[in-house]
Structure 1
């Protein structure tokens, strides 16, 4: 690994083709024999710092259509939280199911899982049938893993019956010194960003693009009013930027004055601090409070001059979904993913069916959508929302911070990169957007 890192640091990326691939590498793992370690504990008390371990793991065999990448930096997503607390199910059930698919996928069914669904790094090796990418290429990876042996995946690859999220439903993820990806996960690294900045957008930027911009999602248009939950968070911060660039009016929902200020820095003007307003959408664990939905809707209209949201960008799930259905305009769209506060949504269907509203499910993005989202980063139209970077040995703490929602934007992790700020190739473009790039890091 030292020779590989030395070559990358010296800018001699092409030399990587002549270096041996290590037999093992360090990765952040969960272990199958610990899958019950949090049994009977409330979700809020489950601690990723106890379940995530940094250890040496064997380098997987490289198969057709695949690539091994030397990972310089990665990032934390909420799926790493789910993996680390073994909710809603242990991800080892995913690996076991995937392992039965073919002799090649059997590699993934192991008593440990290398986690992580983002990376920025350098291609080390490519397998048979890979022609576009070569050793030495600086890349980022999106997290869609597909087999494409079924016709359903050939219009929208997200509909492939064997669609999985890499590093969550597969093994050999990005929180490691080396990662195994399919070649059609790779995209060019934005050359004006550092390794950790480039690693941060991947999953959430692509997810926000499909959910808000794509015809497969809400298909937002100029002039729409878009309600964005968690607008300063990992997913919402990209949705907010896209909403502003698309000529819509975002109404940003946050949970603190600090997070409201972040939205203002991004250019948003209409902001609701739900904590300051003391919104309680549930009277108790089993009973929602429609009076609070109405109060929330009234505040949105006050901010917009009387308009209800054309689109509700939903991802908290159970806690907010009843309110989201209520406040969407007649004929409006609630586009939903993630459900970080719970998967069992409840809403009053009268407000949906009688007002001709639509609920659209959205999950990650296909390769074309991920590529388009990455292109926005490359061109300096959308910017990374990295707020803090941890060392790989601190991944448990980084994941804990996301679990407890004490972070802003995205949280990065250095893997091979020895320090932040490395890997910047285009200083001219960076200087034009430095304030926006550093927006979350300067908090």
Structure 2
């Protein structure tokens, strides 16, 4: 691994140099173990601790197949699917790996007693398999997390509809929280040149997810002038949705849970902000009953911020806790677009407010290659910025996942893999200088005031 890192850090390395580097037999990777999937049995979700289930192991370098690439991972990041994997909810990921392994002889590589997790990376291509023409060893890349086979016609209009669509590092093995990752070549995109390794690794999953969910015609199809309600507007997903709304001429109505998070949204450029903790919104009276009076109070507050208008789009991801309110406050003919359920998968809402007002609920899951590429292009141009707040060592990934599980974070948290320090990998200092305040917004906030633990929607 030292020779690989030396080549990456040398300004004189050529593609031939990278192609000639011998691959190691093994590499360090963050894993969960198949024989530990019942370790949290009987515990409430909040008490399940990723620090107990996530390991850093030496694992063999996987076989490289056609259309694939091995990437030296300089940095990665923690997403909510990393938390789900670590606490084995809503199910252990080994079922995904077993089903994938039955697909073909090559896919059988993924069905192992350990799962290398992680759905983001920034790094350097080491090897490409047969049939890869667009990438070569030495290319600096980021990877999106859509893994597809595309043997069925169903996926050729929108690759997210491929019957064999999977999320890399969650439903496949050999993910990005490691020193080496195995990806399909059509997951690769150019690394934004003005960002460090850890900054470049942070946007991938959440930025692409937010782009499809909010901007793409496969999601809400946001247009100029739209009012967009964004739950958790300073969080991993919401911080990108807020930026897309502002960049696209829409008005974000940012829902947060503290004054500090409200200030972050203001510094991103948002003006309409609801601190749901300070204003005391409680949408459930108990475990089984919602309070429509709170929906109405929430809708009234939104109209106060928008000059009397209801929201055109609700950017949903908390799920159970907020979904009834989301359906209620959307304008007639508006759209509730959902990509997750971090507070619970069983959603309840009053269907009268949906059908009689001609509203739509749209499911949105990650992004296709084109959407991911466009989202990454906006980052590379300095139009959308990483919301990286804190960086951990690979050995501390369990703590990073624990902090995300406990909502102790803002934006995204990064993980250094091969990168020996933060701040490396910047190639375009001029572009970086023009956007440095925006790039460092979440980092500066984290340094100024470390977050205490809190619950609820971040």
| TM-score (normalised: structure 1) | 1.00
Question: Hey, what does 1:193 align to over in structure 2?
Answer: 195
CA contact (8 A) 1:204 1:234 kept: yes
CA contact (8 A) 1:13 1:137 kept: no
Q: Partner of 1:332: helix, strand, or coil?
A: strand
Query: Deviations along 1:51-89, whole A, 9 cap, x unmatched?
Result: 000010000000000000000000000000000000000
Question: Hey, what does 2:7 align to over in structure 1?
Answer: 7
Looking at structure 2, the residues matched to 152 and 200 of structure 1 have their Cα atoms a distance apart, in angstroms, of 31
Q: Partner of 2:52: helix, strand, or coil?
A: helix
Structure 2 matches for 1:27-426, cutoff 5 A?
27-426=29-428
Looking at structure 1, the residues matched to 397 and 374 of structure 2 have their Cα atoms a distance apart, in angstroms, of 29
Looking at structure 1, the residues matched to 264 and 18 of structure 2 have their Cα atoms a distance apart, in angstroms, of 40
Query: Deviations along 1:373-412, whole A, 9 cap, x unmatched?
Result: 0000000000000000000000000001110111000000
Looking at structure 2, the residues matched to 155 and 331 of structure 1 have their Cα atoms a distance apart, in angstroms, of 26
CA contact (8 A) 1:205 1:373 kept: yes
* Cα displacement (A) at 1:216: 0.2
Question: Hey, what does 2:454 align to over in structure 1?
Answer: none
* Cα displacement (A) at 1:312: 0.3
Structure 2: stretches of 5+ with no match in the other structure: 446-458
* Cα displacement (A) at 1:189: 0.1
Larger deviation, residues 65-74 vs 6-15: 6-15
Q: Partner of 1:441: helix, strand, or coil?
A: helix
Question: Hey, what does 2:450 align to over in structure 1?
Answer: none
Looking at structure 2, the residues matched to 239 and 367 of structure 1 have their Cα atoms a distance apart, in angstroms, of 19
CA contact (8 A) 1:316 1:342 kept: yes
Query: Deviations along 1:323-353, whole A, 9 cap, x unmatched?
Result: 0000000110000011111110000000000
Q: Partner of 1:97: helix, strand, or coil?
A: helix
Structure 1: stretches of 5+ with no match in the other structure: none
* Cα displacement (A) at 1:16: 1.4
* Cα displacement (A) at 1:26: 0.2
Looking at structure 1, the residues matched to 414 and 161 of structure 2 have their Cα atoms a distance apart, in angstroms, of 30
CA contact (8 A) 1:73 1:414 kept: yes
Q: Partner of 1:262: helix, strand, or coil?
A: helix
* Cα displacement (A) at 1:235: 0.3
* Cα displacement (A) at 1:10: 1.5
Query: Deviations along 1:218-267, whole A, 9 cap, x unmatched?
Result: 00001000000000000000000000000001000001111101100100
Q: Partner of 1:329: helix, strand, or coil?
A: strand
* Cα displacement (A) at 1:13: 5.1
Looking at structure 2, the residues matched to 236 and 404 of structure 1 have their Cα atoms a distance apart, in angstroms, of 17
Looking at structure 2, the residues matched to 56 and 289 of structure 1 have their Cα atoms a distance apart, in angstroms, of 51
Looking at structure 2, the residues matched to 13 and 294 of structure 1 have their Cα atoms a distance apart, in angstroms, of 62
